[in-house]
Amino acid sequence: MNAAIRWMARNHVAANILMIVLIAGGLIIGGSMKQEVFPEFDLDRIAISMVYPGASPVEVEDGIIRPIELAVSAVDNVKRISSTAREGVGSIVLEVTDGADTDQVLMDVKSEVDRIQTFPEEAEDPVVSELTNRREVISLVVSGDASERSIVEVAERIRDDLMAKPNITQVELANVRPYEISIEIDEANLRRYNLTLPQVAAMVRRSSLDLAGGSVKTDGGEILVRTNEKRM
């Protein structure tokens, strides 16, 4: 180290040239480096959540957690499974093996969960997603003297317009209630057709079938087959 310093002290031109090369290289590389104020990175985790209204934690564990754990335990590159059963909802987090393709594991997990036919009838559809670290950049509030539905429709149009921008990757609506269809039947009509409200509810449920039918393997990849028949 001392010899190099002595050589630099005796060769001023070489030292100046080396300094110029280092500064120029730093400027060139620094200008091409990717810079993010809120960087996003993968957590190599997959989350599965499922709502079971009115169920106790024990019922959630028996009806939701255990069937899902049994199904996804056979998926390749799943290193660890962590589950939580709470009142009315069950959640499972899968840790993906280091270096594995998380997108492929996500598709495999969705396929296995869709094949489960033993979920309780009252349970909602499972939601399978990849956990990512995202931070909010801008908040946009939509308000006005209008009905809730009109404001939601305006917010949805704004979301679609923003998503069409090339530099925007994700836009989410918050504090928006999902659409709901209410069916009211006159008591006289029920008596006329000799029906009860549970029977009508069962007919509506049969007309809104959302059922997984497995998968078909092709040369281009695996195609998931699902029946999505919602008439109401």
Q: Taking all residues of the chain, what is their mean pLDDT, rounded to a whole number?
A: 82
With beta carbons less than 8 A apart as the criterion, state whether 208 and 232 touch: yes
pLDDT at 50: 92
Q: Angle at the Cα of 175 (from 171 to 179), degrees rounded to 5?
A: 95
Q: Please name which of 173, 172, 177, 229 lies closest in space to residue 206, comparing C-alpha atoms.
A: 229
Write the single-letter amino acid at 20.
Answer: I
Distance CA 201, CA 208 (A): 11
Which of 83-92, 134-143, 159-168 is predicted with the least confidence, judged by mean pLDDT? 134-143
Q: Angle at the Cα of 61 (from 111 to 179), degrees rounded to 5?
A: 65
Share of the chain above pLDDT 70, in %: 84
Band (pLDDT 50/70/90 cuts) for residue 132 is: confident
Distance CA 213, CA 231 (A): 19
- For the four alpha carbons of 49, 50, 54 and 59, in that order, the dihedral sign comes to negative
Distance CA 202, CA 220 (A): 39
